[in-house]
Amino acid sequence: MDGTEGSAGHPGPAERSHRSSVSSVGARAADVLVYLADDTVVPLAVDNLPSLSAHELHRAIREVLQLPDIALDIFALWLVSPLLEVQLKPKHQPYKLGRQWPELLLRFTDAPGDDVATDEPSLQFRRNVFFPKRRELQIHDEEVLRLLYEEAKGNVLAARYPCDVEDCEALGALVCRVQLGPFQPGQPTACTLREKLGSFLPAHLCKRGHGLFAALWGRGAKAGTSEQGLLNAYRKVQEAVSGDSEREASLRTHYRAYLTKCHELPYYGCAFFHGEVDKPAQSFVHRGGRKPVTVAISLEGVHVIDNREKHVLLGLRFQELSWDHTSPEEEESVLWLEFDGNNEGTPVNKLLKIYSKQAELMSSLIEYCIELNQASEPAAPPESASSSSPPPTQRPQLRRQGSVVCSRIQHLSTIDYVEEGAPVGNLGPFLG
């Protein structure tokens, strides 16, 4: 697709209302509005906007924000609306893509014609999908860390990054520290948290009657265990000790702590896509229908997330899957994922069918991520007689039983088959 990096899906953190990034357009000059992760606006006065590239706009933003050169790799420009979001390549021209927006919506969304006609994208400065998580640990610039923190926080609060309650408490405690300052014993923190609950926890955990912070809504009620967990986590937030000024050192430390915690989430830094999967059939005569899902793709793999339940249905590293997509010309647009599994104890190949008009984008992104991973892998050392033992492998991270990040294959309807003599889980397209 000309004009996209292959990253599209539902917009994230604050559902963006229709808003334009170009306030006035002419042959020579225009005022461009670029939105940051915290919803602040960077106005840019530019010449010859129709031919201006994303790379040139990126450079102008970096100059205004006084960001270091590494920001060129960390961030990218995105076109975002309530219907579609697209990461731009440096060579692309945002103005021209904005003019083509209705065509992109018709091609990659199921939006009705009235919505297509009124939808208008905004230009946003976001994390680059292809920036490795490991490189984030090397960042020291406070403003860069702040922008990454704000974007990650927005994705957590919008439940784009599903988290267990314990992780929500830990992340919420760091937000408390950034926004409210160090924990002060004896202060009425419960009242403060009640007033700003949506700033610390995802909305689906803030609803009354859910259990989390439920005690806060009843006068004189005993504090709930989840509330106490957040307060305990807030109390335990470590303060920075540094030669820098106290404020700069502490905020930088807490931004990095938040990001490091988010790195434990397998879908951190993903591009998000909209799709549907088949529900398991309830009986031989009653089909299960479909459920909406979000497909999260990053340099590490693919995760299928249940939109309603806010948990992972399937998580696969690239070495664990094969994939292909069918184009709309052939039939309904579908992304196919193949992976190893079992059916009543018998090893089988499983096929998951993801219905989405963005299947082509997802397939292209998977292929490109694999290419980047292969290009970044160090060359294997030559074999020697003395190297008889295999190299140590990193142990997989332990997950809580029932964690939202664990796969729930039993909630999916897959096609299971056994093919004699055929390799299972080979990397690359498996159809055709």
pLDDT in tens, 57-113: 999 999 999 999 999 999 999 999 999 999 999 999 999 999 999 999 999 999 999
Q: What is the mean pLDDT of residues 44-53?
A: 90
Q: What band does 203 get if pLDDT is binned at 50, 70 and 90? A: confident
Whether the pLDDT of residue 140 is over 90: the answer is: yes
Instruction: Give the total residue count for the chain.
Output: 432
CB 319 within 8 A of CB 338: no
Instruction: Give the pLDDT confidence score for residue 5 in this predicted structure.
Output: 58
Percent of the chain with pLDDT strictly greater than 90: 53
Of residues 160 and 220, the one with the higher pLDDT is 160
Look up the pTM and report it. 0.83
- Which of 6-20, 72-86, 281-295, 344-358 is predicted with the least confidence, judged by mean pLDDT? 6-20
Whether the pLDDT of residue 396 is over 50: the answer is: no
Instruction: Give the pLDDT confidence score for residue 226 in this predicted structure.
Output: 57
pLDDT in tens, 18-46: 466 654 444 445 689 999 999 999 999 88
pLDDT in tens, 182-194: 888 777 566 667 7
Q: What is the mean pLDDT of residues 225-246?
A: 69
